[in-house]
Protein backbone atom coordinates (compact mmCIF):
# COMPACT_ATOMS: atom_id res chain seq x y z
CA UNK A 1 0.00 0.00 0.00
CA UNK A 2 2.82 2.42 0.87
CA UNK A 3 4.48 1.67 -2.46
CA UNK A 4 1.20 2.31 -4.28
CA UNK A 5 0.81 5.71 -2.62
CA UNK A 6 4.41 6.56 -3.46
CA UNK A 7 3.86 5.56 -7.10
CA UNK A 8 0.71 7.67 -7.29
CA UNK A 9 2.37 10.77 -5.81
CA UNK A 10 5.48 10.27 -7.97
CA UNK A 11 3.20 9.98 -11.00
CA UNK A 12 1.44 13.26 -10.21
CA UNK A 13 4.79 15.01 -9.70
CA UNK A 14 6.24 13.65 -12.95
CA UNK A 15 3.07 14.51 -14.90
CA UNK A 16 2.96 18.11 -13.70
CA UNK A 17 6.70 18.68 -14.10
CA UNK A 18 6.76 16.90 -17.44
CA UNK A 19 3.79 18.89 -18.75
CA UNK A 20 5.45 22.17 -17.80
CA UNK A 21 8.76 21.33 -19.47
CA UNK A 22 7.08 19.79 -22.51
CA UNK A 23 5.00 22.93 -23.16
CA UNK A 24 8.00 25.20 -22.66
CA UNK A 25 10.26 23.21 -24.95
CA UNK A 26 7.60 22.63 -27.60
CA UNK A 27 6.68 26.32 -27.73
CA UNK A 28 10.28 27.43 -28.17
CA UNK A 29 10.95 24.82 -30.83
CA UNK A 30 7.78 25.85 -32.69
CA UNK A 31 8.95 29.46 -32.74
CA UNK A 32 12.33 28.38 -34.07
CA UNK A 33 10.54 26.61 -36.93
CA UNK A 34 8.68 29.82 -37.78
CA UNK A 35 5.27 28.66 -36.58
CA UNK A 36 3.19 31.76 -35.67
CA UNK A 37 2.71 32.51 -31.98
CA UNK A 38 -1.03 32.34 -32.32
CA UNK A 39 -0.92 28.81 -33.76
CA UNK A 40 1.58 27.74 -31.09
CA UNK A 41 -0.57 29.08 -28.29
CA UNK A 42 -3.80 27.59 -29.57
CA UNK A 43 -2.35 24.18 -30.43
CA UNK A 44 0.93 23.20 -28.76
CA UNK A 45 0.32 25.07 -25.50
CA UNK A 46 -3.36 24.18 -25.26
CA UNK A 47 -2.67 20.52 -25.92
CA UNK A 48 0.20 20.64 -23.45
CA UNK A 49 -2.00 21.79 -20.57
CA UNK A 50 -4.21 18.76 -21.22
CA UNK A 51 -1.23 16.42 -21.69
CA UNK A 52 -1.62 14.79 -18.24
CA UNK A 53 -5.11 13.62 -19.20
CA UNK A 54 -3.74 12.47 -22.56
CA UNK A 55 -0.88 10.49 -21.00
CA UNK A 56 -3.09 8.89 -18.35
CA UNK A 57 -5.77 7.96 -20.88
CA UNK A 58 -3.39 6.36 -23.34
CA UNK A 59 -1.78 4.33 -20.54
CA UNK A 60 -5.18 3.31 -19.18
CA UNK A 61 -6.44 2.30 -22.63
CA UNK A 62 -3.36 0.18 -23.33
CA UNK A 63 -3.75 -1.53 -19.95
CA UNK A 64 -7.43 -2.19 -20.66
CA UNK A 65 -8.76 0.12 -17.94
CA UNK A 66 -11.49 1.72 -20.06
CA UNK A 67 -13.53 2.84 -17.06
CA UNK A 68 -10.60 4.89 -15.79
CA UNK A 69 -9.90 6.32 -19.27
CA UNK A 70 -13.47 7.52 -19.79
CA UNK A 71 -13.96 8.43 -16.14
CA UNK A 72 -10.81 10.56 -16.18
CA UNK A 73 -12.17 12.68 -19.05
CA UNK A 74 -15.69 13.05 -17.63
CA UNK A 75 -14.39 13.63 -14.10
CA UNK A 76 -11.85 16.21 -15.29
CA UNK A 77 -14.50 18.14 -17.20
CA UNK A 78 -16.84 18.19 -14.19
CA UNK A 79 -13.95 19.24 -11.94
CA UNK A 80 -12.80 21.96 -14.37
CA UNK A 81 -16.17 23.69 -14.32
CA UNK A 82 -17.30 23.21 -10.73
CA UNK A 83 -14.04 23.29 -8.76
CA UNK A 84 -11.58 25.25 -10.89
CA UNK A 85 -14.00 27.91 -12.16
CA UNK A 86 -15.58 28.00 -8.70
CA UNK A 87 -12.24 28.73 -7.01
CA UNK A 88 -11.21 31.29 -9.63
CA UNK A 89 -14.53 33.09 -9.29
CA UNK A 90 -14.00 33.27 -5.52
CA UNK A 91 -10.59 34.85 -6.13
CA UNK A 92 -12.01 37.33 -8.63
CA UNK A 93 -15.34 37.39 -10.53
CA UNK A 94 -14.76 36.08 -14.05
CA UNK A 95 -16.04 37.98 -17.09
CA UNK A 96 -16.92 35.83 -20.10
CA UNK A 97 -16.39 36.95 -23.68
CA UNK A 98 -19.50 37.11 -25.85
CA UNK A 99 -17.88 34.76 -28.40
CA UNK A 100 -17.33 32.19 -25.64
CA UNK A 101 -20.92 32.58 -24.47
CA UNK A 102 -22.35 32.11 -27.97
CA UNK A 103 -20.03 29.48 -29.46
CA UNK A 104 -17.40 27.88 -27.23
CA UNK A 105 -19.47 27.15 -24.11
CA UNK A 106 -22.31 25.71 -26.22
CA UNK A 107 -19.63 23.51 -27.82
CA UNK A 108 -18.73 22.26 -24.33
CA UNK A 109 -22.42 21.38 -23.83
CA UNK A 110 -22.45 19.64 -27.22
CA UNK A 111 -19.36 17.60 -26.29
CA UNK A 112 -21.23 16.36 -23.23
CA UNK A 113 -24.15 15.13 -25.33
CA UNK A 114 -21.74 13.51 -27.82
CA UNK A 115 -20.06 11.51 -25.03
CA UNK A 116 -23.48 10.52 -23.68
CA UNK A 117 -24.60 9.29 -27.11
CA UNK A 118 -21.40 7.34 -27.76
CA UNK A 119 -21.19 5.82 -24.28
CA UNK A 120 -24.85 4.85 -23.84
CA UNK A 121 -25.54 2.27 -26.55
CA UNK A 122 -27.97 0.24 -24.38
CA UNK A 123 -29.98 3.38 -23.66
CA UNK A 124 -30.37 4.47 -27.28
CA UNK A 125 -30.27 1.32 -29.43
CA UNK A 126 -30.85 -1.57 -27.01
CA UNK A 127 -27.30 -2.96 -27.26
CA UNK A 128 -26.12 -5.30 -24.51
CA UNK A 129 -23.09 -3.13 -23.74
CA UNK A 130 -21.67 0.28 -24.64
CA UNK A 131 -18.40 0.81 -26.49
CA UNK A 132 -16.79 3.97 -27.80
CA UNK A 133 -15.44 2.50 -31.04
CA UNK A 134 -12.54 3.51 -33.24
CA UNK A 135 -14.91 5.01 -35.80
CA UNK A 136 -16.52 7.11 -33.07
CA UNK A 137 -13.03 8.14 -31.98
CA UNK A 138 -12.38 9.38 -35.52
CA UNK A 139 -15.62 11.38 -35.36
CA UNK A 140 -14.40 13.03 -32.15
CA UNK A 141 -11.07 13.88 -33.81
CA UNK A 142 -12.98 15.42 -36.72
CA UNK A 143 -14.82 17.67 -34.24
CA UNK A 144 -11.42 18.62 -32.79
CA UNK A 145 -10.07 19.68 -36.20
CA UNK A 146 -13.17 21.77 -36.85
CA UNK A 147 -12.72 23.45 -33.46
CA UNK A 148 -9.07 24.26 -34.18
CA UNK A 149 -9.99 25.75 -37.56
CA UNK A 150 -12.67 27.87 -35.87
CA UNK A 151 -10.27 29.15 -33.17
CA UNK A 152 -7.59 30.05 -35.70
CA UNK A 153 -10.15 31.91 -37.83
CA UNK A 154 -11.48 33.85 -34.84
CA UNK A 155 -8.00 34.70 -33.57
CA UNK A 156 -6.80 35.89 -36.98
CA UNK A 157 -9.88 38.04 -37.41
CA UNK A 158 -8.91 39.81 -34.18
CA UNK A 159 -5.25 40.09 -35.23
CA UNK A 160 -4.13 38.84 -31.82
CA UNK A 161 -0.73 37.30 -31.16
CA UNK A 162 0.78 35.50 -28.21
CA UNK A 163 4.08 36.84 -26.87
CA UNK A 164 7.09 34.81 -27.95
CA UNK A 165 9.10 33.22 -25.13
CA UNK A 166 11.76 31.44 -27.18
CA UNK A 167 14.93 30.51 -25.34
CA UNK A 168 18.25 31.37 -26.97
CA UNK A 169 19.57 27.91 -26.14
CA UNK A 170 18.48 25.29 -28.69
CA UNK A 171 19.87 22.41 -26.63
CA UNK A 172 17.94 23.59 -23.59
CA UNK A 173 14.73 23.61 -25.64
CA UNK A 174 15.41 20.09 -26.90
CA UNK A 175 16.25 18.93 -23.37
CA UNK A 176 13.01 20.33 -21.95
CA UNK A 177 10.96 18.84 -24.79
CA UNK A 178 12.28 15.28 -24.51
CA UNK A 179 12.63 15.20 -20.71
CA UNK A 180 9.11 16.62 -20.40
CA UNK A 181 7.77 14.00 -22.79
CA UNK A 182 9.55 11.29 -20.82
CA UNK A 183 8.09 12.63 -17.59
CA UNK A 184 4.59 12.45 -19.06
CA UNK A 185 5.03 8.85 -20.22
CA UNK A 186 6.63 7.62 -16.99
CA UNK A 187 4.34 9.68 -14.78
CA UNK A 188 1.23 8.34 -16.50
CA UNK A 189 2.35 4.78 -15.84
CA UNK A 190 3.07 5.49 -12.16
CA UNK A 191 -0.22 7.34 -11.70
CA UNK A 192 -2.40 4.68 -13.28
CA UNK A 193 -0.63 1.79 -11.50
CA UNK A 194 -0.77 3.52 -8.12
CA UNK A 195 -4.41 4.56 -8.52
CA UNK A 196 -5.50 1.05 -9.47
CA UNK A 197 -3.74 -0.51 -6.48
CA UNK A 198 -5.19 2.08 -4.09
CA UNK A 199 -8.65 1.47 -5.54
CA UNK A 200 -8.34 -2.26 -5.03
CA UNK A 201 -7.02 -1.83 -1.47
CA UNK A 202 -10.03 0.24 -0.40
CA UNK A 203 -12.53 -1.68 -2.52
CA UNK A 204 -13.20 1.37 -4.71
CA UNK A 205 -13.91 0.81 -8.40
CA UNK A 206 -11.60 2.07 -11.15
CA UNK A 207 -14.49 4.21 -12.40
CA UNK A 208 -14.72 6.19 -9.15
CA UNK A 209 -10.93 6.56 -8.94
CA UNK A 210 -10.88 7.93 -12.49
CA UNK A 211 -13.68 10.38 -11.70
CA UNK A 212 -12.04 11.72 -8.54
CA UNK A 213 -8.36 11.19 -7.67
CA UNK A 214 -6.99 10.78 -11.19
CA UNK A 215 -9.20 13.62 -12.49
CA UNK A 216 -7.96 15.96 -9.76
CA UNK A 217 -4.33 14.98 -10.30
CA UNK A 218 -4.43 15.51 -14.06
CA UNK A 219 -6.40 18.77 -13.79
CA UNK A 220 -3.81 20.41 -11.53
CA UNK A 221 -2.21 22.38 -14.42
CA UNK A 222 -5.58 23.90 -15.33
CA UNK A 223 -6.20 24.75 -11.66
CA UNK A 224 -2.85 26.51 -11.25
CA UNK A 225 -3.17 28.39 -14.55
CA UNK A 226 -6.71 29.63 -13.90
CA UNK A 227 -6.01 30.57 -10.27
CA UNK A 228 -2.94 32.63 -11.17
CA UNK A 229 -4.75 34.24 -14.10
CA UNK A 230 -7.68 35.17 -11.84
CA UNK A 231 -5.30 36.62 -9.25
CA UNK A 232 -3.74 38.79 -11.96
CA UNK A 233 -7.16 39.84 -13.24
CA UNK A 234 -6.90 38.04 -16.58
CA UNK A 235 -10.34 36.48 -16.83
CA UNK A 236 -9.89 35.58 -20.52
CA UNK A 237 -7.12 33.12 -19.67
CA UNK A 238 -8.87 31.84 -16.54
CA UNK A 239 -12.16 31.07 -18.30
CA UNK A 240 -10.69 30.18 -21.69
CA UNK A 241 -8.33 27.69 -20.06
CA UNK A 242 -11.24 25.70 -18.63
CA UNK A 243 -13.41 25.90 -21.74
CA UNK A 244 -10.56 24.92 -24.04
CA UNK A 245 -9.44 22.10 -21.77
CA UNK A 246 -12.92 20.58 -21.68
CA UNK A 247 -13.19 20.66 -25.46
CA UNK A 248 -9.71 19.20 -25.91
CA UNK A 249 -10.43 16.47 -23.35
CA UNK A 250 -13.44 15.13 -25.24
CA UNK A 251 -12.65 15.73 -28.88
CA UNK A 252 -8.88 15.17 -28.91
CA UNK A 253 -7.98 13.01 -25.92
CA UNK A 254 -11.03 10.75 -25.76
CA UNK A 255 -11.05 10.52 -29.55
CA UNK A 256 -7.37 9.57 -29.74
CA UNK A 257 -7.75 7.07 -26.89
CA UNK A 258 -10.69 5.36 -28.61
CA UNK A 259 -8.74 5.13 -31.88
CA UNK A 260 -5.88 3.42 -30.03
CA UNK A 261 -8.17 1.06 -28.15
CA UNK A 262 -12.01 0.86 -28.29
CA UNK A 263 -13.35 1.82 -24.88
CA UNK A 264 -16.12 -0.23 -23.22
CA UNK A 265 -18.19 2.15 -21.09
CA UNK A 266 -19.10 1.14 -17.56
CA UNK A 267 -22.91 1.46 -17.11
CA UNK A 268 -22.18 3.30 -13.85
CA UNK A 269 -20.78 6.17 -15.93
CA UNK A 270 -24.25 6.99 -17.30
CA UNK A 271 -24.98 9.09 -14.20
CA UNK A 272 -21.73 10.98 -14.64
CA UNK A 273 -22.43 11.62 -18.33
CA UNK A 274 -25.62 13.41 -17.29
CA UNK A 275 -23.78 15.30 -14.52
CA UNK A 276 -21.23 16.46 -17.09
CA UNK A 277 -24.03 17.77 -19.33
CA UNK A 278 -25.76 19.39 -16.35
CA UNK A 279 -22.70 21.32 -15.14
CA UNK A 280 -21.94 22.44 -18.72
CA UNK A 281 -25.45 23.83 -19.02
CA UNK A 282 -25.04 25.41 -15.57
CA UNK A 283 -21.90 27.18 -16.82
CA UNK A 284 -23.82 28.50 -19.83
CA UNK A 285 -26.70 29.71 -17.66
CA UNK A 286 -24.34 31.43 -15.22
CA UNK A 287 -23.04 33.66 -18.01
CA UNK A 288 -26.55 35.03 -18.57
CA UNK A 289 -27.17 35.90 -14.91
CA UNK A 290 -28.48 39.47 -14.79
CA UNK A 291 -27.16 39.80 -18.38
CA UNK A 292 -23.70 40.63 -17.04
CA UNK A 293 -21.75 37.75 -18.68
CA UNK A 294 -20.03 37.41 -15.32
CA UNK A 295 -19.38 34.42 -13.06
CA UNK A 296 -19.46 36.09 -9.65
CA UNK A 297 -18.35 34.90 -6.19
CA UNK A 298 -21.81 33.65 -5.23
CA UNK A 299 -21.94 31.46 -8.33
CA UNK A 300 -18.37 30.35 -7.68
CA UNK A 301 -19.31 29.28 -4.17
CA UNK A 302 -22.30 27.35 -5.52
CA UNK A 303 -20.07 25.61 -8.06
CA UNK A 304 -17.75 24.41 -5.29
CA UNK A 305 -20.71 23.29 -3.15
CA UNK A 306 -22.12 21.30 -6.06
CA UNK A 307 -18.74 19.63 -6.57
CA UNK A 308 -18.47 18.63 -2.92
CA UNK A 309 -21.98 17.13 -3.08
CA UNK A 310 -21.02 15.26 -6.24
CA UNK A 311 -17.89 13.80 -4.62
CA UNK A 312 -19.86 12.83 -1.51
CA UNK A 313 -22.39 10.95 -3.67
CA UNK A 314 -19.58 9.14 -5.49
CA UNK A 315 -17.86 8.04 -2.29
CA UNK A 316 -20.81 7.29 -0.03
Mean pLDDT, contiguous 10-residue spans, the chain (316 residues): 82 75 71 60 62 77 75 88 92 80 88 91 72 92 90 67 56 83 76 78 76 72 73 74 87 91 84 94 84 81 94 82
- pLDDT on residue 191: 75
Cβ neighbours for 88, distance < 8 A, ≥ 6 positions apart: 94, 226, 227, 229, 230, 238, 239, 300
What range does the domain containing 297 cover?
2-315
What are phi and psi for residue 161, nearest 5 degrees? -135, 150
- Report the number of distinct structural domains present in the chain: 1
The pTM (predicted TM-score) of the whole model is: 0.77
**What's the CATH code of the domain at 200?**
1.20.1420.30
- pLDDT on residue 14: 81
Please answer whether residues 231 and 113 qualify as being in contact, where contact means their C-beta atoms are separated by less than 8 angstroms.
no
263: left (phi over 0), alpha (psi -120 to 50) or beta: beta
Rounded Cα distance, 95 and 102, in Å: 14
Amino acid sequence: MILSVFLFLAGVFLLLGGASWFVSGASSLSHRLGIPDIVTGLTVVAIGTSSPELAVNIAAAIKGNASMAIGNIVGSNILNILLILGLTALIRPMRVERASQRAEIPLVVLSGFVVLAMGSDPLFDGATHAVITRSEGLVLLAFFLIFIAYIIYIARSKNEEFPATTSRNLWLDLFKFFVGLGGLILGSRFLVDGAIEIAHFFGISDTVIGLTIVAIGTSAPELATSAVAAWKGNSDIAVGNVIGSNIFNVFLILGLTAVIQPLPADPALLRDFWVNIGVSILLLISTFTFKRMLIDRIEGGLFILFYLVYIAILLF
